[in-house]
Structure 1
């Protein structure tokens, strides 16, 4: 515990880590501001302008001709004889004022598939940078050798740093997600939008999954940096995994290649499951080519990768010389 407190104090004193922590709050705040602006209430001036545009469109002969043909021959437009032809033709062929008011009201349920994944990805990136920066500083400055003079048990030192990254990342990530989703919930209440308890529960689950992914990324980045002893090498590996791996898998000819792509598994964990394109399915045609991927399978995918990297990193740190 004493060693853990020392590592947590060392983490707080790193200027690069402090800047990244600030970014963990600043970036979701910018996303929140964008959501606030894009879901703001429509003003009366905008409604009046939309009404003028609607009237011009309705008076346009190019709009009226299909509508008149529909009224004259409703059967050609798929309208049954017993239906109200005028109403059906208006619904199909004439615009409404909503067509000119593109903004949708705030919905936390919709945000879980729009801005929520964006916040989760950015937070994962920030915490991964914190993990690699924290370990990389010790290697770049050579201070790790001095630390081992006071605590020669290397495995204990490795795990103390790992726990500091995990605890610090979890605290920062939880606070960031709480402020973001809490801010959206507060905004919905200020605007008089009812948020059902079921949606609050879904948002909590979504945020918990985002936090799990972000903290796992921080620990993975830390373990890679302790293995490679270089921040740049870690960033290169993470860059290659996320950007080059999908390209290599797509061109490798491996069966069911998309199943192993990081972004597909990330989405499956975050959203509680997803579907992906698998042309290797028998009788593949149209939607049949879509295969389901559960969150449990995707979480296992990341857990296995994390365990392997951690084991190799601990083994390397224990066996190799430390300058």
Structure 2
């Protein structure tokens, strides 16, 4: 049996892999069920009721405002006059202030809402891929299985590279299959509890590209978890780094740079780079600055993190962690 086939079989058969994939499926199923139950299709009756509710709210607001104007006029020349605007200049509401859409029940718009669901899928799978990737190699280092494997295949880099390739191929297959199912499920939800209007070829292409970026994010997190566990030769190394990055680096650093009033603090925080990667861009704003404009007033300085910039950051992270893992595999003593 080839090394790749043996590693694929070991990865797929591991109870740890099955457990976390099963947990991911349960989480995703719960999310889909929640979206289905919390939305409903807007039929003619629902639309008519929303328009009626908007009209009723307008009439009530108009009556309340007229009553307030009458009270203001009656208070003129008394001590209570200061409680009202000068000359009773109170603006009356208009029907346009009460949009019937505000009175509609939640309805799932596939074109507008599904990209957010792709990000949710990517987040869940990224966490699972990171943990499985770390455990896949970390457990072998901890148990001594890596040493035994190198007796059979003494080429260190080939062994570690094959393990990583096995992980990435399996992760790709899982992500592609789940993304296809995820898309089909939410398209059904949109048909049953919302709308699929506006789904042109361009809209489908945009969703496809978003899912490709989701795949890239999942693959990078899997490789980083694998690489960190290999460097530390224990699964706990990768988990410890993840906790340290989230708790110490992100929250701690976020608090420090906020107190220091650093310009564009988002540049130092990973979630904003992930957001930019999945949503094409993130616009950071510096509210300590003011660019005055006669038409727009005071506007802050902005800096846009593009998906290309985020992609370069993910590529560098992948290359550094995997490169160091390969270097330590070649240079350090196995025992």
TM-score, normalized by the shorter chain, greater than 0.5 = yes
Q: Judge conservation of contact 1:170–1:215 (CA < 8 Å) in 2.
A: yes
- Residue 305 of structure 2 is matched in structure 1 by 293
Alignment partner of 2:183 out of 181, 184, 200: 181
Q: Judge conservation of contact 2:55–2:95 (CA < 8 Å) in 1.
A: no
Cα shift at 1:110: 2.3
CA distance in 1 between partners of 2:153 and 2:95 (Å):
79
Matching of residue 65 in structure 1 with residue 64 in structure 2: yes
- Residue 165 of structure 1 is matched in structure 2 by 167
Cα shift at 1:26: 2.9
Distance 1:35 1:322, change over 3 A: same
Q: Judge conservation of contact 2:290–2:298 (CA < 8 Å) in 1.
A: no
Q: Judge conservation of contact 1:148–1:154 (CA < 8 Å) in 2.
A: yes
Distance 1:156 1:105, change over 3 A: closer
- Residue 266 of structure 1 is matched in structure 2 by 274
CA distance in 2 between partners of 1:145 and 1:297 (Å):
40
Cα shift at 1:172: 0.8
Q: Secondary structure at the match of 2:94?
A: helix
Larger Rg: 2
Distance 1:55 1:91, change over 3 A: closer
Alignment partner of 1:193 out of 192, 196, 219: 196
Q: Judge conservation of contact 2:213–2:278 (CA < 8 Å) in 1.
A: yes
Can you give the 5+ residue segments of structure 2 that lack an aligned partner in the other structure? 70-87
Q: Judge conservation of contact 2:40–2:192 (CA < 8 Å) in 1.
A: no
Higher strand share: 2
Can you give the 5+ residue segments of structure 1 that lack an aligned partner in the other structure? 80-87
Matching of residue 118 in structure 1 with residue 116 in structure 2: no
Count of aligned positions: 309
- TM-score, with structure 1 as normaliser: 0.82
Q: Judge conservation of contact 1:32–1:184 (CA < 8 Å) in 2.
A: yes
Q: Judge conservation of contact 1:276–1:291 (CA < 8 Å) in 2.
A: yes
Q: Secondary structure at the match of 2:106?
A: coil
Matching of residue 303 in structure 1 with residue 315 in structure 2: yes
Cα shift at 1:217: 0.3
Distance 1:300 1:125, change over 3 A: same
Q: Judge conservation of contact 1:29–1:180 (CA < 8 Å) in 2.
A: no
- TM-score, with structure 2 as normaliser: 0.79
Q: Secondary structure at the match of 1:321?
A: coil
Distance 1:287 1:218, change over 3 A: farther
State the superposition RMSD in angstroms: 3.5
- Residue 84 of structure 1 is matched in structure 2 by none
Q: Judge conservation of contact 1:249–1:257 (CA < 8 Å) in 2.
A: no
Deviation string, structure 1 residues 25-79 (Cα, Å, up to 9, x no partner): 332222222222222225899889979977985775x661216779xxxx95779
Report the more deviating stretch, 31-40 or 13-22: 31-40
- Residue 35 of structure 2 is matched in structure 1 by 35
Matching of residue 238 in structure 1 with residue 254 in structure 2: no
